[in-house]
Structure 1
């Protein structure tokens, strides 16, 4: 198997750092393949909430993140790859993924373009910063 055994169902291998752990207001989306759209309700969730943009962060920029960005573009969803919020196996692979997306399917941005400095300390504060960028009202978001 070229990918190795991967994560097991063992809780110690699945634990999320406390600061990043989802809470009751967060939506959890299980990703099954390279594209976050494959076998998931992501596209439907975006449509139901009137969204046509997707901010992409994560690990393995040249695999899942790049594939998700390209798939989003193919679905008429505008992908934004956050260059300094992506990780990869090597600098070359990281840069290749950014160049590919920028030239073919989306926009590459930096965190500072999306968030002010310093970064908000709470999710509510973060939402108050992001909502105006999405042309949304200041009314509470329905996170379901």
Structure 2
């Protein structure tokens, strides 16, 4: 659930502004999630981590996976015909671009990272360094 400025503040004080809350999704100033907000799951296996990035609608050719300074960056872009751009009542996933960043904490063998895409889900395999079994990685 998002906490976006005045709505959370006014509801916390017990005021009921339901019409204003609904207008945030249907009015001219509709709420949009940030570009980096695609869902991810990180699974901890014995010898590797697996990052599942739910990047539906993004072709693998338009997704970039890189590591710099022990930080994994996963981003994607695609072009949208501006004449066919949807008018959202609610938008919960990006249609043009996204970016997710994962801190590796020196626990991953970066030379052997691999990635594949299955059914719109990008799966990034992060082999653990031999000295790092059973550790977790931090999502930024």
TM norm structure 2:
0.20
User: Per residue, is there more helix in 1 or in 2?
Assistant: 1
Larger Rg: 2
Higher relative contact order (CA 8 A, sep 6+): 2
TM norm structure 1:
0.20
